[in-house]
Each structure stands twice: as C-alpha cells, then as structure tokens.
C-alpha cells in the first residue's frame, strides 16, 4: 500500500512538472500571440501537429534524444500540454469584452496593466480550463512512461500485465484512474471559484 | 548494424502490414463508435436530463488513463484484438457523442420554425434540417476521435493486438533506433494524414452557406 501511495505521488509530481513547465512557456506565448495575431495560426498549427503524434511514438522518439527515464517523460508531457494551454490563453484573452478594455484605457491603464489587471483575471477560468485538460492528459500519458523507464503508476500496471498478475494491474490502474478523475473534478471546482464575481451569472465556455 | 536500405528490405513488409493492422484496428473501433454514438447523441438531444448523465459517464471514461484502461479489461477479456478493440471503441464514444449532441442542439431554432411552417414532421426535421446542419460538427467529433484512437492503438500492442506499437516496443526493449523510427514515424504520419483527410471531409460536408470565409 505504501508503494502504491509513493508511486501515485511520483506519478502526480511528474505530470504536474510537465504541465507547469508548459504553463511557464505556454501562457506568456498565448499572451504574446494576442499581440501578434499573424503568428497565432502557425503556432497553433504547430502545437496541433505535436498533439496529433501518438504518445507512444513521441515517447520512443524522444527517448533517443533524452535517454531512458523521467526526463523524456517530462519533456513529452511538456510538448503535449502546450496546445491546450496556448489555445486557451489566446482565446481567453481575446474573449474579453472590448468594452471592458475601453474602460481600462479610459482609466489611464498602460498596456501591461490592461493585460495583468483586466484581461488575465477575466480570462483566468478559461486559462485554468486549459491547464485542467493538459493535466488530465498528462496523467494519462504518464502511465505509459514506464515503457521508457520513467516511474509512476504505470510501473505496477506494466509489471502486472507482464506477469499476468491482475491484482497488481488493478493496484496501478485504479489509483491512476482515480488520480485523473479527482484532478479533473478538483480543478473544475477551482475554475468555478476563480470566475470574477461580476461575471458569475454567465456560463464560462471552457473549450 | 544494418544500413537503412538493408533494414527496410528485411523489415519493410512487416512494417507495412503493421501499419495496415493499425489502421484497420483504429478505423474499426471508430466505425463501431460512430454507429453507436451518433444515434445515441441524436436521442440525447431530445432528452436533456438523460444527456447530462450519459455525457458525464462518457467523459469519466475518457479521463481514465489509457494504460490503466487496458489494464482494467485484461482480467476480464484477456489479450488480443477483442479487448483492444473494446477499449478503443469505448474511448471513441465521447467526442462523437458530445459533438452530435451539441451539433443537433445548436441548430438555429429559426430553421426549425421554418421547417415546421413547411409542414415537416419530426423525422423530416431531423433528416432534412437538423442532421445536415449538425453534420460538420459530428464529422469534427469523428476526426478528433480517430486521431485519439490512432494514438491509443499504439498501446494495444501491449495486450497483444499488434499494430505499429509492436515495432516501437520491440525497438525500445532492444534499444534499436531504426526499429523505433520505423514504428513511430508511420504512426505519426498516419495520425496526421487521417486528421488532414477528415478535415477535408469536414469542410466538404459543411453546407456552402455556412462556410467561413
């Protein structure tokens, strides 16, 4: 049981690391794209192509660059997380009502203040929805990290499959599924609370 | 170490048949998923209360990590094509179901009014107005589903169902870069190609008046 807990923790921290790295790159990138919109199309297309590559193929190809182990897994989680994060940041910021921006300008806000005090707070639920999708996907992909020598709950599932030990398979599969479902539900709840009070009536469309 | 030409001479036919296997496995699952999810989505569009329950269940299934899912069915269905197909089929449901549901629901009510005014009955409204207008949205659900399934089908090699996962896994185990590339590259190309082709279909089935730009 201790082993399951330790592996669950490892699983979660690997997934979170990959997604946080992607957020650190993807959110500024998304903000940047709203300033230079002609770049949006090619950048989105590129992240979409990355997303389309089958996960096992991606892990195997990256393994040749980064070797066996956690690094390869985290790099591929980073790559897979870019699309939902960049896309949601971009559409979230563009979805802010122009009248609110006008109001900010009228109050003498600079461009930086408009971004950080108006656009980002209003877009925060949408950005978070992107992070949620990214993290749930990452938790899923992290289970196959075991095939390229990374840790996490995939270890139990894979060893169980190989030794035809169903109990072991389930000891990995059940916590992995719970982890994904609980993360999804928890972050969905957080999204709700982050909607600025004045906007709560309208439903926020999470992509 | 073999050169690429020698490698392809030896492994080429095997890779080709694995690609074919992969495609058939994926398309079979998506076809099955479409046959179930599209009618179900149409029914759900008429029963709102049932819809939130069914869509909730489908999205929970979608959340389950793929390797975990393959692990779940193993004790019950064993190894081979049948359990792999079952998992892939279940995964294909949500995007198609959700898109059919929203596609049908988001048809502009004015068009329905017009249809009713022309004396159409419910079935005629569905076949002549709702379905054609929702079709592009449904197609985009099928496209998303297919891309996912092609990705997950690489994992079905783990439970002995073949496909391009076979060379990738063998390559990982023996640390053979050529074998990895020979499996990973066709898998990636397959996914990109199918996504592009289905994108074209999506555009073609969009009624001309609704196309953007």
Ordered DSSP codes for B137-154: HHHHHHHHHHHHHHHHHG
Residue A73, token pair as written in the block: 């897994």
| Dist CA B39 CA B166 (whole Å) | 35
Whether residue B2 lies inside any domain: the answer is no
CATH number at residue B70: 1.10.3720.10
Q: Which fold has domain A2-197?
A: MetI-like fold (1.10.3720)
Examine residue B179 and state whether it is found in any structural domain, yes or no.
Answer: yes
Residue A203 scores a pLDDT above 70: no
Overall residue count recorded for chain A in this entry = 207
Instruction: Give the minimum alpha-carbon distance from B35 to chain A in angstroms, rounded to a whole number.
Output: 24
Residue B62 located in a structural domain = yes
The structural domain count of chain B equals 1
Residue of A nearest to B79 (CA): A161
How high is the pLDDT of residue A200?
62
Q: Which residue of A has its CA nearest to B60?
A: A181
pLDDT of A205 above 70: no
Which structural domain range is residue B170 located in?
13-207
Contact B188 A143 (CB under 8 A): no
* Residue A96 · residue A155 · CB < 8 Å: no
The pLDDT of residue A159: 87
Q: Sorting pLDDT into bands at 50, 70 and 90, what band is A78?
A: very high
Tell me whether residue B7 is in a domain: no
Task: Name the residue with tokens 């020698």.
Answer: B6
Which residues in chain A are contacts of B75 at CB distance < 8 A? 166, 169-170
Residue B8 maps to a domain: no
A160 touches chain B (CB under 8 A): yes
Compute the nearest-CA separation of B212 from chain A (Å).
16
- Decide if B169 touches A, using CB distance below 8 A: yes
Looking at every residue in chain B, the average pLDDT score rounds to: 86
B65: closest chain A residue by CA: A140
For B155, nearest residue in chain A (alpha carbons):
A56
User: B59 lies in a domain?
Assistant: yes
The C-alpha angle with vertex B102 and arms to B149 and B201, in degrees rounded to 5, equals: 55
Put simply, the answer to whether A177 touches B183 (Cβ < 8 Å) is: no
B67 close contact with A: CB closer than 8 A? yes
Query: Using one digit for the tens of pLDDT, what is the confidence trace for A82-121?
Result: 889 999 999 888 888 888 888 888 888 888 888 888 888 8
Task: List the Cα angle A147/A158/B91 in 5-degree steps.
Answer: 90
B212 within a domain of the structure (yes/no)? no
B65 interfacial to chain A (CB closer than 8 Å):
yes
The answer as to whether B1 is a domain residue is no
Choose the closest CB to B191 out of A53, A147, A158. A53
pLDDT at B212: 64
């Amino acid at each position: 049981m201790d082993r399951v807990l330790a592996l669950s923790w490892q699983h979660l921290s690997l997934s979170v690391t990959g997604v946080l790295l992607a957020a650190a790159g993807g959110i500024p990138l998304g903000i940047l794209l709203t300033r230079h919109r002609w770049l949006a199309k090619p950048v989105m297309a590129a992240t979409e192509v990355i997303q389309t590559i089958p996960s096992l193929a991606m892990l195997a190809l990256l393994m040749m660059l980064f070797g066996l182990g956690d690094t390869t897994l985290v790099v591929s989680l980073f790559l897979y997380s870019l699309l939902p994060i960049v896309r949601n940041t971009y559409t979230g910021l563009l979805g802010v009502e122009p009248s609110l921006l006008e109001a900010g300008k009228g109050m003498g806000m600079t461009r930086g203040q408009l971004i950080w005090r108006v656009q980002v707070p209003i877009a925060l639920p949408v950005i978070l929805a992107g992070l949620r999708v990214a993290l749930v996907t990452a938790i899923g992909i992290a289970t196959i990290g075991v095939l390229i020598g990374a840790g996490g709950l995939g270890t139990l599932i894979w060893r169980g499959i190989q030794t035809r030990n169903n109990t072991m398979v389930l000891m990995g599969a059940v916590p992995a599924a719970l982890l994904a479902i609980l993360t999804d539900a928890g972050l969905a709840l957080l999204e709700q609370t982050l909607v600025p009070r004045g906007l709560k009536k309208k439903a926020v469309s999470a992509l | 170490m073999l050169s690429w030409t020698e490698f392809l001479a030896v492994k080429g036919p095997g890779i080709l048949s694995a690609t074919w296997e992969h495609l058939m496995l994926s398309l079979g699952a998506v076809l099955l998923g479409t046959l179930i999810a599209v009618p179900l989505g149409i029914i759900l569009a008429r029963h709102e209360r049932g819809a939130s329950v069914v869509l909730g269940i489908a999205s929970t299934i979608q959340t389950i990590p793929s390797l975990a899912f393959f692990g779940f069915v193993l004790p019950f269905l064993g190894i081979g094509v049948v359990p792999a197909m079952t998992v892939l089929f279940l995964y294909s449901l949500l995007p198609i179901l959700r898109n059919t549901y929203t596609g049908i629901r988001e048809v502009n009510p004015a068009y329905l009014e017009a249809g009713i005014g022309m004396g159409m009955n419910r079935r005629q409204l569905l076949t002549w107005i709702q379905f054609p207008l929702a079709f592009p949205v449904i197609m985009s659900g099928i496209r998303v589903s297919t891309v996912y399934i092609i990705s997950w089908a690489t994992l079905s090699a783990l439970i002995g169902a073949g496909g391009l996962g076979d060379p990738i896994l063998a390559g990982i185990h023996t640390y053979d870069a050529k074998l990895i590339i020979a499996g990973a590259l066709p898998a990636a190309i397959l996914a990109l190609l199918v996504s592009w082709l289905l994108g074209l279909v999506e555009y073609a089935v969009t009624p001309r008046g609704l196309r953007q730009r």
